[in-house]
Structures are given as C-alpha cells and as structure tokens.
C-alpha cells in the first residue's frame, strides 16, 4: 500500500474514531457513507457508494458494497441485454476496498452519519445478514434498484423512513435523461445511444429520493437531512464529511452536451447533399447518393429494431414507448431494395416515414407524452423529407418521359395539346 493510501486510511479511521456520533460512547458501531467518484470505464461513469461499519470494540472497519456483478455469470450478456441482471452485496475490509478505488484514480468522500446506537446496531446487523451468500443477490434495475438505491434503502430502514419522507419532498430539478447523458457524456457516442434509447419515462421530473440512483446525488442529498438523536434533539444526519482522496481523473462536465443545433445543422446539410447528389449528372454522384441514402436507411432501420426490442423484449422500462420510432422506422431497411426495384412502393413508404417525422414534435407536446428527443427530430426530419421529395420528383420525371414517348409513338410532340394537332383545331 502506497504512502498516500496509508495516509488516506489513517484519516478515514480517525474520522470514525473521533466520536462524532453518540454511538461511539456506548460501544455501538459507527456508520459512514463512502462515495467514489466516476471512473474511466463506461460502467464506472456514474460513480459508486457503499456503507462503512466500524466496530470500536473489534477495531475493524467493513465496507458493504451492493455494486458487484460477475462477467462469468451464466448468460451474462443475454441477461444484460434483457435487463435481468443479478448483482450482489459483498462485505470486505476497508483497506482492500479503498486500495482498489485509489489505484483507479477515483475520488473518495466519506460522510460520518449521526445514527443513534439502536439505529447503528440495527443497520450493522442487517448488512451482515444481507451479505450472507443466500441473501446477497438481488435483481438489478438501473434506476430503481441499483448499488446506490440499495444503500439509500438500508439507511432509510435504519432511520424508520425519515430519509424517504424528507427526500421525497424536495425536487431534484433533473430527470433520468439529464443524469444519464450528463454522466456518460465523456463517451460521446454511448451518450447519444443512451439518449436515443430513453423514452418518455426518462423525462419525468425527479425528487431527491428518485435521483439518489446516482451516488453523488445521494451524497449531496444527505447533507440536507436532519434526524433526532436518542434524547429527541434535532441534528444533521451528516456529522462530518471529508474528501479522503481527491482523485486523479477529470471531473464530469457541468451539463450534458447540447445536441440540438449540431444535429439540426447535420440534418439540413445531409438533406441538401442528398438533393444535390440525386441530380445524377455523373455515375460518381449516383453512386455517392446510393451509398449515403443506403447508409442512412441502414442506421435508421437497425436503430428502430433496437428500440422495438428494448420495448417489447426487455425489462428496460425507461426505453418503452419510445417516440424515436417515428424517426427510426425499421422498414427503412428495405428501402434500398425498393428504391430501384419498386419505386412506387418506396415512394409511399418514404412519404409515410416523412409524415411520421413531421408529427413527432406534435406528439411530444401532448400531455403525458413529452420526450426530450428534439435533437433527433431536428436531425432526422430534413433527411426523411428530402428523400420523400426525391421519390416524388423521380415519379414526375418518369411521368414526363412516358408522356413524351407516348406522343412520339402517336406522331405528336411531347407536350402537344390533346385537343388538337400541329395544324390547328380539328374540323368535321
């Protein structure tokens, strides 16, 4: 263990021994919340937390960690895709847990909690029971039942429901979408994918109880919670707070990336490019149009299948009823074939897709249907409209050619009036 890590451990133990809580005076365990900052890997971007139980009599500190999963678990990837993950609680010595997070360069913040002796003893007993192999596993839900909400729920039980009562009264001024896209944004394309996958349920307003699925949000929320001690006196839940390790990684950005204007410019630019390439003045332009339009339809179609799969085949409830299906239609996958082999069917399908894209901003304004997908509307709508316009222009051009051929076969000029001939009006 490095000098800095030994120093961090010494500071942490000093906090637990300093007598901040009354529990220490009667030999009951001391309780602390430890919050680890975001890491480098995508599943570490949201931070982590755990409960420390220090037993003064034994002189040991145990970390109870609800965030453990196993890549070797049977059908791990399938369960992950279906939203049926199994996580578990483990108990390990403080030094071992602290060493791992310190080696990853993540920040470590400790909040010593003012639990009375009975509350502290109940929580220590509950966690020891919960960490037993037969009790340790639980069904993971990213928003409702994750490593942070399990910590929150355990603390709430120890406090007799006081935590829930106080946090549910305070609005977070954020949504699931905001927190997810914000914290994952260092992985830009993953952030876009998660933003696209979240449906209307990702945009409902949250209170602090709900937002505590983010460990840093739970840590911040606890600072405003008050409890009553054994004598009935009111005091803050957090007795002391220290940043034990500052961390070596870059902090998360202040806000999620603003995608509206960049997506609108990209959508308009691609639409104009498709219209220009479709003039087919050269084989290169025709090939470029086919490549670009085909790639767009492939992206839309595959994305649409993913959204349908998340809705109908998985437990990822935050992705259900996703209005991005109005923009990312799985039928787009057959458009490359229809464009050249069945242009009439392609024309009607493109028109249907364009109309769906046009009504998507109207639907999101209806009560209960709001979805924060305006950047995707701004990107997809101009492209869908341009392709529908091209299909109808192609139809008009084909009709003009057919009309010209018919008139020539009848000995007339292409745009000759059907009511007469070159020589003038007909007379009986």
For residue 409, pLDDT over 60 is answered with no
Say if residues 93 and 60 touch (Cβ distance below 8 Å). yes
Which tens digits make up the pLDDT trace of 7-36? 555 455 555 545 444 444 557 899 999 999
pLDDT of residue 419: 36
Quickly state the pLDDT bin for 396 (edges 50, 70, 90): low
Q: What is the mean pLDDT of residues 381-402?
A: 79
What is the C-alpha separation between 180 and 323, in angstroms, rounded? 18
| Beta-carbon count within 10 A of 334 CB | 15
Quickly state the pLDDT bin for 415 (edges 50, 70, 90): very low
Rounded to two decimals, what is the model's pTM?
Answer: 0.84
For residue 51, pLDDT over 70 is answered with yes
Q: What is the mean pLDDT of residues 97-125?
A: 89
pLDDT of residue 65: 95
pLDDT of residue 9: 56
What is the C-alpha separation between 170 and 168, in angstroms, rounded? 6
Q: What is the mean pLDDT of residues 327-335?
A: 96
User: Of residues 98 and 308, which shows the higher confidence score?
Assistant: 308
Instruction: Kindly report the average pLDDT of the chain as a whole number.
Output: 86
For residue 212, pLDDT over 50 is answered with yes
Which tens digits make up the pLDDT trace of 346-358? 999 999 999 999 9
What is the C-alpha separation between 353 and 381, in angstroms, rounded? 9
pLDDT of residue 13: 55
Report the length, in residues, of the chain: 428
């Amino acid at each position: 263990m490095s000098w800095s890590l030994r120093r961090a451990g010494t500071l942490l133990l000093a906090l637990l021994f300093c007598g901040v809580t009354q529990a220490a005076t009667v030999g009951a365990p001391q309780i602390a919340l430890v919050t680890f900052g975001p890491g480098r890997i995508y599943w570490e971007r949201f931070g982590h937390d755990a409960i420390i139980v220090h037993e003064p009599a034994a002189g040991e500190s145990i970390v109870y960690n609800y965030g453990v999963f196993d890549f070797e678990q049977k059908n791990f990837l399938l369960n992950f895709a279906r939203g049926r993950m199994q996580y578990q609680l483990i108990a390990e010595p403080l030094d071992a847990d602290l060493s791992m997070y310190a080696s990853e360069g993540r920040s470590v913040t400790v909040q010593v909690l003012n639990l009375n002796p009975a509350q502290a003893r109940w929580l220590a007993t509950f966690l020891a029971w919960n960490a037993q192999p037969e009790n340790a596993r639980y069904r993971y839900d990213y928003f409702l039942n994750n490593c942070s909400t399990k910590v929150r729920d355990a603390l709430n039980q120890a406090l007799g429901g006081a935590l829930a009562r106080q946090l549910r009264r305070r609005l977070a001024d954020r949504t699931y979408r905001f927190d997810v896209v914000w914290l994952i944004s260092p992985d830009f394309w993953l952030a876009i994918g998660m933003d696209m996958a979240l449906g209307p349920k990702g945009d409902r307003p949250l209170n602090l109880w709900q937002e505590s699925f983010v460990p840093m949000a739970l840590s911040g929320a606890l600072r405003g919670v008050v409890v009553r001690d054994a004598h009935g006196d009111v005091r803050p839940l957090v007795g002391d707070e220290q940043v034990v390790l500052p961390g070596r990684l870059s902090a998360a950005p202040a806000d999620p990336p603003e995608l509206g204007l960049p997506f609108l410019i990209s959508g308009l630019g691609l639409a104009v490019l498709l219209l220009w390439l479709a003039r087919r003045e050269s084989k290169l332009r025709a090939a470029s149009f086919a490549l670009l339009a085909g790639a767009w339809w492939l992206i839309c179609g595959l994305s649409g299948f993913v959204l349908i799969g998340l809705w109908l085949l998985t437990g990822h409830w935050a992705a259900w009823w996703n209005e991005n299906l109005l923009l990312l239609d799985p039928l787009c996958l057959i458009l490359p074939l229809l464009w050249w082999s069945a242009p009439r069917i392609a024309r009607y399908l493109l028109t249907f897709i364009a109309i769906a894209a046009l009504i998507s901003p109207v639907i999101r304004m209806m009560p209960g249907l709001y979805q924060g997908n305006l950047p995707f509307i701004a990107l997809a709508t101009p492209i869908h409209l341009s392709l529908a316009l091209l299909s109808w222009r192609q139809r008009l051009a084909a009709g003009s050619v057919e009309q010209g051929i018919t008139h020539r076969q009848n000995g007339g000029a292409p745009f000759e009036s059907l009511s007469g001939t070159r020589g003038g009006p007909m007379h009986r």
